[in-house]
Structure 1
Amino acid sequence: MKRHCAHTYTDNGFERHPQPANLSLGVKERESIWAFPSSRCAGFCDDTIAACFCPSNTTYGRIPAPPHARLDAPPERRGRPMGYLCQPDKMPDGQHTNWGTVDPEELWGPAGWCMAEQPKLECHCMLDGFGGPVCETPYEPFCLNQCSGRGECNLGFCKCHEGWHGIDCAQPSQAVDTSVPGLEAARPWIRDFVHTPAAREFPAGATRKRPLIYVYELPSEYTTLMLQYRLFAEYCTPRIFNPDNTSYFTTFTYGAETGFLEALLQSEHRTLDPEEADFFYVPVFTACFMSPVRDVADSLFDFWYNVAFNRAQGAANMLLEAYHWIRGHLPYWDRRGGRDHIWLVTHDEASCYVPAAIRPSIILSHWGRTDLNHTSDTGYPADNYLWEAEHPQFEPRGWRRKVEGFPCFNRTKDLVIPSFKPPEHWRASPLLGALTRERSWLGFHRGRVQPENKAFSRGIRQRLEQLAVDQGWKEKHRIVVGERDKVEGPYSELLASSVFCLVIMGDGWTARMEDAMLHGCIPVVIMDDVEVAFETVLDLSDVMLRVPQSDLEQLPAILSGVPEERREEMRARLARVWHRYSYSSYPPYAKQLRELQEGHAAARDAPPLSQPATVPGLDPRQDDAFETVMAWLYSRIDATR
């Protein structure tokens, strides 16, 4: 499938690529609804990754591989990426663009980004694998399982070596010699990120770790192409490399989409044989698609967005396309009506717009909304999943019929899982061995409030902040609610210094439950008809409080009314389940967790902890979020048959 950017620079100037003609909205109308400046390229557009580079006829332009070269051949010259932040504000004829902000002289002039060794303009090296002041330093980009050491990583897409295939190059052909070391032997920096137990040969009768899960090998349009198209290197990934090939975890909000998948690919629960699988995992990167990725004038993307140019509808269409691909190519969906299939949807209200066609499956999400007649609570029109759309070809019966009639979350067959919180996010937690702090704040919540966006958070955050200001909650009750500029200080330290931590929705799901649990702070859930992570599989009644949305004014009285003895009991019970909100069985996560523990132990001049548990016998590496999901799935095997 040919992909391209909306504009490309040629020797004769800008060339307008044709737009699809089968949409009811024209280009101008669509741009006015949802503008993607990232789709504009005034240089050389690499069709493979839809990324913009300096033109080939400039000193530091990208020169592609010759036409006769192999399909996976690298470019003759990498070139400097331009990105959407370094696009000209004028056309060659002097006409102003509505998608660029840079004077062309700063790009093409003698001291320009594309011409000078040390240009005056500094363009952001947005692409993964491009580092240094002028993006001149190549480094290891992120790929799932780092291609198992059996392939080269190209911005998230694995180009497998001969004899290997799959989303992470884990599946060998019969002729390949699996005893030959992979790339991790020559690249020690990827060694900690290559774990493929499923590729081992198991002797007959070997005990396997059930449930066994087969990960579908879908076309890259649904998975790794989204990684190649991501706007910034840190988008869509749980971790990334630095220019010196050291690694760190990202803070991408929807990081569980690829983090959970990589944990599954690296786990003993994975099987490469679909015939022995208990479940089938369908990897579709809808949250990455909505982040957004770099937009392209491509008929597939336009179909996903459909006629309304709505991100939620685009993501749902993406899920439907994957569903039809599976049914059209493999027999496993029809064998049990999809009941043994697993889909992970991590965007704000994603579980609400899962199409009816795949509702029989197990839906993993962060959003446990249970009311049947639900409407979108988003403050952003482009994410309103019930925005109706009709089209004689694409939607002759309208859009809403695809998603209406089901609760967002079915507590019998679905599961709300924790979001991905890297160890660094909770470095000040006493549960990691950090120094115990006085819990001086009675109640705490720091996060976006958006007073001008009335739909955001159902108005809960806005109302609480106003109450806190009007009634002096900070001074009278030691309760703080607000954004960063009003609640200053290191976030992890504030959480570790609070008795109660408020769990309030944002533009859909909230990660505040995980923040509270990982810091030993008692969660206070203020979301009607919404279940938090693992509430259906763990008894959290003695761990958290629930406050109805109608009782916001009584919050100080409710919190101060909990006696200290009761608080101690709740914290003691919390100490038995907090580890289920981390991903400590995921090998890269476990490594950083250990490093933080050792750092805390050294600061206290104490021996390293064997584990960060506060209750003897707990092993977070065996009872973490991932293994909790696996245990729940194991209990569901019979129900899917």
Structure 2
Amino acid sequence: MNCNQVGTCDALKGLCTCPAGWRGFNCVDPMKRYCTHKYRDAGFEVPLVPANLSAGVGGPHMNMFPRGHCGGFCDYNTAGCYCPSNTTYGRVPAPLDAPPGAPPVKQGRPMFQYCQPNKMPDGSDTVWGTVDPEELYGPDGWCIADAPKLQCLCYLDGWQGPTCEERVEMFCLNQCNGRGECVHGYCKCHKGWHGIDCAHRSADVDDSSPSLVEERPWIQDFMHTPAAQDFLPGATRKRPLIYVYDLPSDYSTLMLQYRHGVDSCVPRYFGTGNSTLHSIEWVYMLETGFVEMLLQSEHRTLDPEEADFFYVPVFSSCFTHPVRDTADSLREFFYHVSMNRAQGAINMVLEAYHWIQSHHPYWDRRGGRDHIWLFTHDEGTCWAPAAIKNSIILGHWGRMDANHTSNTAYGHDNYSQDYQHPQFDPEGFQKKMAPWLPCYDPQKDLVMPLQKRPDHYHLSPLLGGATRERAWLAFHRGRVQFELPQYSRGIRQRVAKAAEEGRWREKHSMLVGEREDVEGDYSELLASSVFCLVMPGDGWSARMDDAMLHGCLPVIIMDEVHVSYESVVDISQFAIRVPEADADKLPEILLAVSGERREEMQRALARVWNRYAYSGYRAYKPRFLELQAQHAAARGDNGTAAQNLVLGQPSTASRLAPSLPEAVPDLNPGADDAFTTAMAWLYSRIPDTR
């Protein structure tokens, strides 16, 4: 049935990959994601009146957070909320007799979390809304006026401008190679092309058909597929060769279509005029970023028979947040049988595992040892299902103790909380996991650096920035959360209390606190500190990578936990480990490190820092080079002219190390960066998987 005209046909397997709103082997079965209209708090459901405000479409569904509520028109494919159809800028759906997947007659202005009415037409409180209906539906309202007084968020990918009516390109992995239409992260490939990024072609594809690059030149910089070329016999290839599975969209691109937030779940997106913008807030962006790097890499192969490894692109972090925040409305969604976000994500991973095992021979061939999974969520490597524990697990959380329990401060992520359900095994949910095994095994797994955009470390001397006095002995800015003692294993709370009671800032030039306590440019603060504290958060912490990217010596305070690349880089050359029991003794420990030793450590750090930056990523490389050029111009002929610190002169500045490491202005951004380091490590692992 040609995938019901809405999906993409895999010409090799004869299977359809379906977009949001459709499922089944031929994309004929509807899969609706309704907007939610109940409020849930502490396990109690409080029914509300239907959400049919004006001419909107709604229904009685529920949700944990108010993001899924809709006081307008609900798109049942993605749970997107728009202005009602009878308003000037309302959503007008496709006619009932339109072909499947037809676009709406009128897109309509979006109504998101903070653009929901706080009153019903009868004046009663909606509970979930925050905006006076007059600001939405009045003469100057968002849904009525040409120039409304209220500015709602353009939360959907592909729409920009003051009123969210400027059409721009949407994010898709590898931008569908220019061989398909990008629809909120899903590639609807042109005839003869298929795959997660339309890189695979059938034998009778019409190569004369033009690529979309000719009409959309702005996607050119985000398309690169060396694996698609015809290699001559005996051609030299870059190993390891990695085959990226083309899974059903349910486990990957469907999550991108369901995301509410243009910069959620993705490392980049298109802004006004199709300019390139880098995501800032979503900390789990390596989940999609690493896949895109693989797809664009010379290590990718389109032939599974020659692959050294098999990568499984499951977007469990995107599912966990933000998609799961509104997923209770997915009545027919197969992750629904879960009591919290971690369990839903485990079900998702297990579904993907069973699909691979039933559709391909490669898992059983080596028991999954040559398969790669990535878990970027807070404690993701800990709740990885037992069924895939033979595989290579990439993640950010290097916890190594066995028989572990969750340390999360948030109940909806607690993987140790067991539940009974008719669809679970009689022993309960825990049987699906392997808590008796460590979350991370340094012999076969790898702790990956977080993906940080170049502007995150824009003032780093290692990027060529002007060297500045490292005037602060130690630095840490981040959440403490005294009200949640289990957060950070209690380490951050203990250090913050000791810093306040011991007056570390005044006595020792040590900055420790939350954002309101430690103000200033984060990059400048890191580049102005000798030591940077690395303590856990709700699982992993980004502080190791922040320190490395700024030439700040890491001080690691978490027992039995590996930090990024600790199994492949000798961090003892530039980092200090402090037992959790000695956390309140930091001043004496750090002051005991001689100036000569500090300089030695800083030089060692400078030799490996780029292994913690994804500087070769095609979306980041231009900005990386641009910052290098700007810093070079600012330095002039002085090379490393010092820059005064604007944060105040601490009392111990004269006792601290000089401004090291020096600038590295000519670094090739793709040389030995985080991605190539992971590839080199995987190459070394090939014999162990056979």
Report the TM-score when normalising by structure 1: 0.93
What residue number does 1:639 align with? 688
SS at match of 2:272: coil
Q: How does 1:222-621 map to 2 (within 5 A)?
A: 222-251=251-280, 252-293=282-323, 295-296=326-327, 297-301=329-333, 303-308=334-339, 310-403=340-433, 404-606=435-637, 619-621=668-670
Cα offset for 1:178? Answer: 3.8
CA separation of 1:198 and 1:72: change in aligned 2, threshold 3 A:
farther
SS at match of 2:89: coil
Q: In the TM superposition, what whole-angstrom CA distance separates every residue of 1:52-105 from its partner, at most 9, and x where no partner exists?
A: 111222221112223343434322111111112222223345443222222333
**Quick check: 1:88–1:107 contact (8 Å CA) kept in 2?**
yes
SS at match of 2:512: strand
CA separation of 1:254 and 1:217: change in aligned 2, threshold 3 A:
same
Q: Aligned partner of 2:290: which letter? A: F
**Quick check: 1:10–1:55 contact (8 Å CA) kept in 2?**
no
CA separation of 1:12 and 1:559: change in aligned 2, threshold 3 A:
closer
SS at match of 1:587: coil
Q: Which of 627, 630, 634 does residue 676 from structure 2 map onto?
A: 627
Q: Aligned partner of 2:678: which letter? A: V
Q: Aligned partner of 2:480: which letter? A: V
Matches of 1:123 and 1:467 in 2, distance apart? Answer: 43
Q: Which moved more, 1:241-250 or 1:412-421?
A: 241-250
CA separation of 1:362 and 1:181: change in aligned 2, threshold 3 A:
same
SS at match of 2:326: coil
Matches of 2:689 and 2:210 in 1, distance apart? Answer: 39
SS at match of 2:533: strand
Q: In the TM superposition, what whole-angstrom CA distance separates every residue of 1:439-466 from its partner, at most 9, and x where no partner exists?
A: 1111111111112121111111111111
CA separation of 1:46 and 1:498: change in aligned 2, threshold 3 A:
same
**Quick check: 1:211–1:634 contact (8 Å CA) kept in 2?**
yes
Q: Aligned partner of 1:627: which letter? A: T
Cα offset for 1:348? Answer: 0.4
Q: Aligned partner of 1:439: which letter? A: R
Matches of 1:618 and 1:425 in 2, distance apart? Answer: 17
Cα offset for 1:585? Answer: 2.1
Q: Aligned partner of 1:640: which letter? A: T
Cα offset for 1:112? Answer: 2.5
Matches of 1:626 and 1:16 in 2, distance apart? Answer: 45
Cα offset for 1:305? Answer: 4.5
Cα offset for 1:300? Answer: 4.7
**Quick check: 1:446–1:484 contact (8 Å CA) kept in 2?**
yes
What residue number does 1:60 align with? 89
Cα offset for 1:151? Answer: 1.6
Q: How does 1:78-93 map to 2 (within 5 A)?
A: 78-93=107-122
Q: Aligned partner of 1:210: which letter? A: R
Matches of 1:455 and 1:599 in 2, distance apart? Answer: 44
Matches of 2:667 and 2:130 in 1, distance apart? Answer: 55
SS at match of 1:52: strand
Q: How many equivalent residue pairs?
A: 624
Q: In the TM superposition, what whole-angstrom CA distance separates every residue of 1:478-515 from its partner, at most 9, and x where no partner exists?
A: 11111111111111111111111111111110111111
CA separation of 1:606 and 1:617: change in aligned 2, threshold 3 A:
closer
Q: In the TM superposition, what whole-angstrom CA distance separates every residue of 1:294-348 from its partner, at most 9, and x where no partner exists?
A: 62422354x424342x111111111111111111222211111111110001000
Matches of 2:460 and 2:93 in 1, distance apart? Answer: 49
Cα offset for 1:137? Answer: 1.2
CA separation of 1:300 and 1:317: change in aligned 2, threshold 3 A:
farther
Q: How does 1:191-206 map to 2 (within 5 A)?
A: 191-206=220-235
Q: In the TM superposition, what whole-angstrom CA distance separates every residue of 1:126-180 from its partner, at most 9, and x where no partner exists?
A: 1112212211111112111111111222221122222211111111222224465
Q: Which of 159, 168, 176 does residue 139 from structure 1 map onto?
A: 168
What residue number does 1:24 align with? none
Matches of 1:177 and 1:13 in 2, distance apart? Answer: 46
**Quick check: 2:373–2:394 contact (8 Å CA) kept in 1?**
yes
**Quick check: 1:9–1:44 contact (8 Å CA) kept in 2?**
no
Residue 185 of structure 2 is aligned to residue 156 of structure 1: yes
Matches of 2:283 and 2:178 in 1, distance apart? Answer: 28
Q: Aligned partner of 1:154: which letter? A: V
Q: Aligned partner of 2:70: which letter? A: C
SS at match of 2:622: helix
What residue number does 1:23 align with? none
**Quick check: 1:365–1:416 contact (8 Å CA) kept in 2?**
yes
Cα offset for 1:636? Answer: 1.0
**Quick check: 1:602–1:608 contact (8 Å CA) kept in 2?**
no
**Quick check: 1:155–1:227 contact (8 Å CA) kept in 2?**
yes
SS at match of 1:627: helix
Matches of 1:433 and 1:521 in 2, distance apart? Answer: 15
What residue number does 2:15 align with? none
SS at match of 2:619: helix
Cα offset for 1:14? Answer: 6.8
What residue number does 2:126 align with? 97
Matches of 2:601 and 2:669 in 1, distance apart? Answer: 20
SS at match of 1:448: coil
Report the TM-score when normalising by structure 2: 0.87
CA separation of 1:230 and 1:606: change in aligned 2, threshold 3 A:
farther
Residue 149 of structure 2 is aligned to residue 115 of structure 1: no
SS at match of 2:573: coil
Instruction: State, as a whole percentage, how many aligned pairs show the same letter.
Output: 60
What residue number does 1:22 align with? none
Q: Which moved more, 1:56-65 or 1:273-282?
A: 56-65
- The answer for unaligned runs of 5 or more in structure 1 is 20-26
SS at match of 1:501: strand
**Quick check: 1:184–1:194 contact (8 Å CA) kept in 2?**
no
SS at match of 1:461: helix
SS at match of 1:141: coil
Matches of 2:177 and 2:347 in 1, distance apart? Answer: 31
Matches of 2:246 and 2:532 in 1, distance apart? Answer: 41
CA separation of 1:12 and 1:233: change in aligned 2, threshold 3 A:
closer
What residue number does 2:59 align with? 17
Matches of 1:179 and 1:201 in 2, distance apart? Answer: 17
Q: In the TM superposition, what whole-angstrom CA distance separates every residue of 1:204-248 from its partner, at most 9, and x where no partner exists?
A: 221111111111111112111111111211111111121121112
Matches of 2:226 and 2:638 in 1, distance apart? Answer: 32
Matches of 2:53 and 2:566 in 1, distance apart? Answer: 61
SS at match of 1:629: helix
